[in-house]
Structure 1
Amino acid sequence: MKTRLRTLILPLAAGLACADASRDDPSGGAVEMAALDAVFADYSASDGPGCAFAVSRDGQQVMARAYGMADLEWHIPNTPETVFEPGSVSKQFTAAATILLALDGRIDLDDDIRSYFPEMPDYGEAVTVRMLIHHTSGLRDWGSVAAIQGWPRWSRVHSHKHALDIASRQRALNYEPGRYYSYTNTGYNLQAMLVERVTGQTFDEFSQERIFRPLGMARTQWRDDFTEIVDERSVGYRRGEDGEWHMLMPFENVHGNGGLLTTVGDLLRFTRNLDTGEVGGPEFVRLMHEEGTLDSGWKTGYAGGLRVGEYRGVREVSHSGSTAAYRGFLTRYPDHGVAVSLMCNAAEADSRGLARQVAELYLADAMTEELPGGPAGVDADPADVAAFAGGYRDTRTGQYLELTADGSSLLMRGGPGGPPLLATSETAFASATGVSIAFEGPPNAGERSAGILNMPAADGVRIEPVGAFEPTAADLADYVGAYHSEEAEVTYRFEVEDGRLVFRDRYGDGAALEPLYPDAFAREFGTIIFRRDATGRVTQASLSEGRVWDLRFERVQ
């Protein structure tokens, strides 16, 4: 059994916010308690879950409060010392462990991962450890493949053995290593396993020795055994269809991608080290903030488990997370010495939004308007803009995105979304959040041209116009049959019911598919594209969704 330093926490009155008055901001920049409480008004009830947050200035915690209940069955309130899971906020801890191992000289960040995982396929190009950190490896997300298989996370007890097994069965990557960015938990589970293979320690033992104990994070550990009893841990809750709260806990042992058990105070201790380098030194701090760079030279904004950017004109280093019903956000504003940690045990909580509202109270004088000014638009004729509207195919993934006209701007659905794309020239559009499209030419006689889509995490993505698809009965009959994926170990059946194409998984579950463009249909969370041989016969189905691109199914019937 793991040994932890435990602190006895006395429950406070249910529904009341908790704060240590001695932590009031000594810098003169104190924030009214009422303003903080107002942020969490929806999470302060004595019959629902809630949140805890903490704030630091220049490394000193100046505020810690909690709201709502940690355990609804036992009527135990959240406190600033309650243990939560912050989901993918955990990734910066995993990146830190990997970087420390590299600074020890025990690995090189540019090593091919097959040096440590010989069971992984040879994809013809090296996938490096650095690519795992930056999400530029092209590796498919193992949890997404498991869901395609019929066993989504939380539906069975997954372990690192399962994650590695799924990853090692993938015959293809989402893309050539380094070419694009795609967020994947696989890369972070592999890092946790890499540390274990190189050191002979469990990932928790290494993290305790090199990170948690040196930084005084006495209430932090990895959830590598979900059955372990953890003192003062909150229970995760989500609302069911009946409107009542139901438990939703992470009953799995995979970690590194998430799985950190911690408190809001411990999170602040870690993020302070990203300024000081007390653990790891200056080179550690540099590598943790080094952004991923694509082959094109494009910087993705994703560093060592950290997103590097700006919020309302202020430099921000942050990461959000969600695991089961837990939500988390850890953010730091290095130019102002302010950091905010927040965790909730309510699935409906917007952890990013809540934490930033707290930050706004402490940095009100430094922050600008909600959105930057954005690109300088031109006086475009709405009729000319409307000519670009319609469906397009993302040539990386085959997925569908739709542009609709709104005066002199375009709105995007199915792509990165966000605010409107303003016309910046006759054939170019851009948004205030760094998304832009440059078309090859203006529409000619109703014919739209292809365009190049750039966004914060990727550049040079070609999108091609596609026409509407209204399949006939004969068209639908072409797709009927069984299709098998060795990579996902699953067979899908496609049938026609009431004039619509329907897919069924191994359990008979499924849904009707919506036609998008010829041979392409919308599936929940993704796109199914049927592929034909030289004779025109449908021989394959390809499934693309957020974290899995072009997963092939061979027709077997």
Structure 2
Amino acid sequence: MKTRLWALILPLAAGLACSQANSGDAPEGTVDLASLDAVFSDFSDPDGPGCAFAVSRDGQQVMARAYGMANLEWDIPNTPETVFEPGSVSKQFTAAATILLALDGRIDLDDDIREYFPEMPDYGEPITVRMLVHHTSGLRDWGSVAGIEGWARTTRIHTHKHALDIASRQQALNYEPGLYYSYTNTGYNLQAMLVERVTGQTFDEFSQERIFGPLGMTKTQWRDDFTEIVEERSVGYRRGADGEWHMLMPFENVHGNGGLLTTVGDLLRFTRNLDTGEVGGPEFIRLMHEQGTLTSGRQISYAGGLFVGEYRGVREVQHSGGTAAYRGFLTRFPDHGVAVSVMCNVGEANPGGLARGVAELYLGDAISEESDDDDPAGVEVDPARVAALAGGYRDTRTGQFMELAADGPSLRVGGMQGFQLAAMSETEFGSPDGISIAFEAAAEGGRPAAIMNTPVAVDVRIEPVGEFSPTAADLADYVGTYRSDEAEVTYWVEVEDGSLVLKDRYGDGEALEPVYPDAFTQGGTTYIFHRGDGGRVTEASLSQGRVWDLRFDRVR
């Protein structure tokens, strides 16, 4: 275990608002305990993993409870003092470290990252540290590239050397720096490495000295050595194909993107500082909440490892996360002084839904009074008009395929299993969480293109695509061997049983579904084949959520 000098000299009870499992110090009757327990009813089985949560009002913890088991092999229950991993909730801690370093004058947020990482390619336009913080760098997500290579996270002991090696191999970005937003862990691993290169300390040492220690976060550290013994740590579990619980742990040493080991109480201590500035002062608070701005001038909702927006009409600052089978959510409603932290060791948990379920109990009438005019209520639209919009679409930035399905007067993004958008008019559809699609005027007899907006992706143009039913001769055009040096992987494309199949080095693969001319999908990834002079297929590209247009040369 890491030795922390500050942990030895702080009073033993410093900052602890709750020391026993399933207890809290809220004034009796403030919130009915049965109502709180009902939120977590799916995770209170003594034979399964579960969750812990804590609540604060005006910076003071008023409730902490826990459910389910921390360790199924030893029948150890979760408590409010159990250590979990909150996944990408960790990013606000990394942003905080980067911002503190900038406030020290040791870096500038507008510095070109190649000043600190000369091994990174020159993409023509500089990538700044600020872009790493706001996910506007264009850098591909290293973990996604590792998965394309065949080593998805949790399948290999990844380190920062792997992350930097993958990042430095990318000869292209998802987009020109600053042009769009795309969530990428790469930017947050680079920030952790930047702190180490500038200070000469490990990222954990810097964080202990500047953040965890001063805020009394006595049970928080970075998981920079997954083999280390951590007292009171829960084990992550998920259901296997056999219906039984199986361990799923983050056996990797990458951190900064995630990798925080902490408790629900310690998370509240940190988020309180985002109001008080006890560490960092007013400028720290401002920079942590400064939302990213694209080169177009459009502002996005992502700030310093935080999403800034609203929930049911109430201003909210939050982040969710998941690593292996751990799940986490930390949210704060600054206008009402309420903050909620939730962490679970069960992969099936939805920590955001759980945290907001708790928050609603504490916010009470604030939600119902403020949300009436903010939630899209929808209007009556002829279902036939909606049905005429349904079909396949192509994201013009990435080439990714998207299906829109008609559900009466509503649209579903991602087909009938996707999320629903209510009709706001005959051409506009939206959801309470800020996702909208606005259709343009349609050419006669055809479906129109549309502009899609989300809290972080703005002005995304999607265009309708026609059905693609390739013949055997068409499929034969794509058969070959394709190589990407950026992902260090070779794929073999073959035809089996009348379908195109993409295989890896082990001969494993699944059939690709044709979606539009020269484009196929499988598992959320769109594969696009590109033709050269004479119409011969000469290369292919791959696009998925965090990797856009990764190119493969046809080598045979």
Equivalent-residue separation in structure 1 for 2:384 and 2:43 (angstroms): 47
Residues 1:388 and 2:425 aligned together: no
Residues 1:109 and 2:137 aligned together: no
The match for 2:70 is 70
Tell me, yes or no, if the aligned pair for 1:298 and 1:458 is still in contact at 8 Å.
Answer: no
Equivalent-residue separation in structure 2 for 1:207 and 1:263 (angstroms): 16
The match for 1:398 is 399
Superposition map of 1:105-504 within 5 A: 105-368=105-368, 373-374=374-375, 380-413=381-414, 418-424=419-425, 427-444=427-444, 446-504=445-503
Equivalent-residue separation in structure 2 for 1:233 and 1:30 (angstroms): 31
Label 1:429 to 1:247 Cα distance change in 2 as closer, same or farther (>3 A). Answer: closer
Equivalent-residue separation in structure 2 for 1:380 and 1:75 (angstroms): 55
Tell me, yes or no, if the aligned pair for 1:91 and 1:256 is still in contact at 8 Å.
Answer: yes
The alignment partner of 1:340 has SS state of strand
Label 1:407 to 1:156 Cα distance change in 2 as closer, same or farther (>3 A). Answer: closer
Q: How far apart are 1:460 and its partner, in Å?
A: 2.0
Tell me the amino acid that sits aligned with residue 118 of structure 2.
P
Label 1:392 to 1:103 Cα distance change in 2 as closer, same or farther (>3 A). Answer: same
Q: Can you list the C-alpha shifts for 1:154-179, whole angstroms capped at 9, x where unaligned?
A: 11110000000000000110111111
Equivalent-residue separation in structure 2 for 1:351 and 1:431 (angstroms): 20
Percent identity of the aligned residues? 76
Equivalent-residue separation in structure 1 for 2:490 and 2:53 (angstroms): 46
Label 1:177 to 1:35 Cα distance change in 2 as closer, same or farther (>3 A). Answer: same
Equivalent-residue separation in structure 1 for 2:413 and 2:443 (angstroms): 18
Q: Which one of 24, 27, 39 corresponds to residue 26 of structure 2?
A: 24
Q: How far apart are 1:24 and its partner, in Å?
A: 2.0
The alignment partner of 1:357 has SS state of helix
Superposition map of 1:533-548 within 5 A: 533-548=532-547
Q: Can you list the C-alpha shifts for 1:159-200, whole angstroms capped at 9, x where unaligned?
A: 000000000000110111111111100000000000000000
The match for 1:505 is 504
The alignment partner of 1:529 has SS state of strand
> TM-score, length-normalised on structure 1?
0.94
Equivalent-residue separation in structure 2 for 1:367 and 1:542 (angstroms): 46
Label 1:507 to 1:372 Cα distance change in 2 as closer, same or farther (>3 A). Answer: farther
Q: How far apart are 1:208 and its partner, in Å?
A: 0.4
Equivalent-residue separation in structure 1 for 2:447 and 2:335 (angstroms): 46
The alignment partner of 1:458 has SS state of coil
Q: How far apart are 1:35 and its partner, in Å?
A: 1.4
The match for 2:16 is none
Equivalent-residue separation in structure 1 for 2:243 and 2:23 (angstroms): 34
The alignment partner of 2:367 has SS state of coil
Q: How far apart are 1:459 and its partner, in Å?
A: 1.9
Tell me the amino acid that sits aligned with residue 18 of structure 1.
A
Structure 1 spans left out of the alignment, 5+ residues: 10-16
Equivalent-residue separation in structure 2 for 1:409 and 1:40 (angstroms): 31
Tell me the amino acid that sits aligned with residue 21 of structure 2.
C
Q: How far apart are 1:145 and its partner, in Å?
A: 0.3
The match for 1:96 is 96
Tell me the amino acid that sits aligned with residue 545 of structure 1.
Q
Equivalent-residue separation in structure 2 for 1:73 and 1:150 (angstroms): 31
The answer to which of 157-166 and 377-386 deviates more is 377-386
Q: Can you list the C-alpha shifts for 1:217-263, whole angstroms capped at 9, x where unaligned?
A: 01100000001001111111111111111111110000000000011
Label 1:431 to 1:218 Cα distance change in 2 as closer, same or farther (>3 A). Answer: closer
Equivalent-residue separation in structure 1 for 2:282 and 2:12 (angstroms): 36
The match for 1:12 is none
Tell me, yes or no, if the aligned pair for 2:325 and 2:346 is still in contact at 8 Å.
Answer: yes
Q: How far apart are 1:64 and its partner, in Å?
A: 1.0
Q: How far apart are 1:440 and its partner, in Å?
A: 3.4
The alignment partner of 1:191 has SS state of helix
Report the number of matched residues.
Answer: 545
Tell me, yes or no, if the aligned pair for 2:136 and 2:294 is still in contact at 8 Å.
Answer: yes
Q: How far apart are 1:451 and its partner, in Å?
A: 2.5
Tell me, yes or no, if the aligned pair for 2:312 and 2:432 is still in contact at 8 Å.
Answer: no
Tell me the amino acid that sits aligned with residue 165 of structure 2.
D
Equivalent-residue separation in structure 2 for 1:406 and 1:237 (angstroms): 35
Tell me the amino acid that sits aligned with residue 188 of structure 2.
Y
Tell me, yes or no, if the aligned pair for 1:416 and 1:455 is still in contact at 8 Å.
Answer: no
Q: Can you list the C-alpha shifts for 1:509-530, whole angstroms capped at 9, x where unaligned?
A: 1100111011000121210000
The alignment partner of 1:459 has SS state of coil
Structure 2 spans left out of the alignment, 5+ residues: 14-19
The match for 1:13 is none
Label 1:197 to 1:76 Cα distance change in 2 as closer, same or farther (>3 A). Answer: same
Q: How far apart are 1:34 and its partner, in Å?
A: 1.4
Tell me, yes or no, if the aligned pair for 1:131 and 1:178 is still in contact at 8 Å.
Answer: yes
Tell me the amino acid that sits aligned with residue 435 of structure 2.
V
Label 1:349 to 1:385 Cα distance change in 2 as closer, same or farther (>3 A). Answer: closer
> TM-score, length-normalised on structure 2?
0.94
Equivalent-residue separation in structure 2 for 1:120 and 1:436 (angstroms): 36
Tell me, yes or no, if the aligned pair for 2:421 and 2:436 is still in contact at 8 Å.
Answer: no
Q: How far apart are 1:72 and its partner, in Å?
A: 1.0
Q: How far apart are 1:112 and its partner, in Å?
A: 0.8
Q: How far apart are 1:300 and its partner, in Å?
A: 1.5
Equivalent-residue separation in structure 1 for 2:21 and 2:149 (angstroms): 44
Equivalent-residue separation in structure 1 for 2:107 and 2:449 (angstroms): 44
Q: Please, what is the CA RMSD of the aligned residues?
A: 2.1
Q: How far apart are 1:430 and its partner, in Å?
A: 3.8
The answer to which of 309-318 and 217-226 deviates more is 309-318
Label 1:327 to 1:176 Cα distance change in 2 as closer, same or farther (>3 A). Answer: same
Tell me, yes or no, if the aligned pair for 1:292 and 1:299 is still in contact at 8 Å.
Answer: yes
Tell me the amino acid that sits aligned with residue 389 of structure 1.
A
Q: How far apart are 1:114 and its partner, in Å?
A: 0.6
Equivalent-residue separation in structure 1 for 2:213 and 2:203 (angstroms): 14
